[in-house]
Structure 1
């Protein structure tokens, strides 16, 4: 019975929602990071010096955009950024 109570406690802790303001801040930061990497990609393509690390950073940025912020408007914007990142990855043959 005691072990079951500990498991119930752990499950209850996992269900605790994080602070919505912090979740939104992290989502905004992830969106900005993705936009920065898209800018780096653009500069690399224009200068003819696109390196593999930029594409890897873009793949990481795409993976990080999938989390919900809890704000429908922000989630919609992040979804649009994610789509642009996925398009650029497909163009680079890395999707």
Structure 2
């Protein structure tokens, strides 16, 4: 940044060899240390680490929503596998176990009322299919 003016640089003018000396000088007043001065202490590391860990464990609304959507899609995928295995005539115990896991995963709330409504309908369908599988 260039400053043009009485104290700044200007283009094309040679600088003079003499410098002006100001009559005013800057000095700090002599102040005695106050009696309230406390020695510096180290920060409390355990509190800051605990706070950082607590902040990392808190999910924001978008993360909760993403995870809920993934759980819902996973449950729908398992329901599709169940449908295909029912049409083929062979329901495997692994598919029933995956249905139970999907039903347990759908219990968590996403915070979005519309999404929670859809997830509860998926959960109801999974529970109905589990009851049918247990009956048969």
TM-score w.r.t. the length of structure 2 is 0.58
Q: Provide the rounded CA distance (Å) in 2 between the counterparts of 1:17 and 1:72.
A: 20
1:49 CA drift (Å): 2.0
Task: For residues 58-78 of structure 1, give each alpha carbon's deviation from its aligned partner in whole angstroms, at most 9, with x where no partner exists.
Answer: 000000000000100000000
Q: Which residue in the other structure is 2:112 paired with?
A: 71
| Deviation >2 Å, runs of 4+ | none
Root-mean-square deviation (Å): 2.1
Q: CA deviation at 1:18?
A: 1.2
Question: Which of residues 51, 57, 75 in structure 1 aligns to 2:98?
Answer: 57
Gaps of 5+ in 2: 1-46
User: Could you list the runs of 5+ residues in structure 1 that have no partner in the other structure?
Assistant: 1-5
1:3-82 equivalences under 5 Å are: 13=54, 17-82=58-123
Q: Compare relative contact order (CA 8 Å, sep 6+) and give the higher one, 1 or 2.
A: 1
> 1:28 Cα shift?
0.1
Q: Between Structure 1 and Structure 2, whose CA radius of gyration is higher? A: 2
Please state how far the C-alpha of 1:50 moved relative to its aligned partner: 1.4
Specify which structure has the higher proportion of helix: 1
Number of matched pairs: 86
